[in-house]
Amino acid sequence: MGEPKYICVEGVIGVGKTSLTNLLAEYLDAKVIYEQPDENPFLNDFYREPRRFAFQTQLFFLLSRYRQQQESFQTELFHKYTISDYLFAKDRIFAHLNLEDRELYLYDRIASLLEREIPKPDLVVYLQSSPERLMANIRKRSRSYEKNMSEEYIRSLNEAYNRFFFHYNETPLLVINSTLIDFVNNEHDFQELVKQIMRSHSGIEYFSPA
């Protein structure tokens, strides 16, 4: 397998996945598919009352991401590379974390039908980080819908992501320990990531910068 043409960048809220997506897209002149959490009308309610609004929030994300993925690949004609700042299948992480059994059963039936029609990436890049670094990044960017997010929630989310990607085998996966690097402000760190991402991949691989 040669260099990846369709790359998904993944990681917990605050890890820098959209920043890396932007940098890669500019570097490769790639088409970008962005996660659009601000469009979810249930998100503020979910962070305020998670139990009450979890199912509505989850279903809206699932259907809107499905529509976005379908539209993006139907119209792509002009770019050699496509970079997405989310993996469609990762929606299940939040579903299993937030939904009760009956809701999860219904969600799984819908998600299984939709996933069959979504193109699989050539490579998933999973940015790992510590809860402390994630919380620091979240506080720094001060997004309104994240202001009620607790460190306990971020820790549980971090553990859920690690479990999901520990068992992930749908596509090649590159796990990057990003706790001690700054690919946004340090050109050397960014170029090192580009070199790791754009080589040929198979299975699960790990990269921990010195």
DSSP string, 188-210: HHHHHHHHHHTS---SEEEE---
At residue 146, the pLDDT reads 66
At residue 153, the pLDDT reads 85
At residue 103, the pLDDT reads 97
Instruction: Give the Å distances, CA to CA, from 47 to 19, 98, 124.
Output: 23, 11, 27
At residue 77, the pLDDT reads 59
Tokens representing 65?
């991401």
- Which domains does the chain show, CATH number per domain? 6-207 (3.40.50.300)
At residue 79, the pLDDT reads 80
At residue 108, the pLDDT reads 95
pTM: 0.89
Mean pLDDT by 10 residues, the chain (210 residues): 90 91 95 88 89 95 92 72 93 92 96 92 95 86 69 89 93 93 91 94 88
Q: Is residue 205 exposed (0-12), middle (13-18) or buried (19+ Cβ within 10 Å)?
A: middle
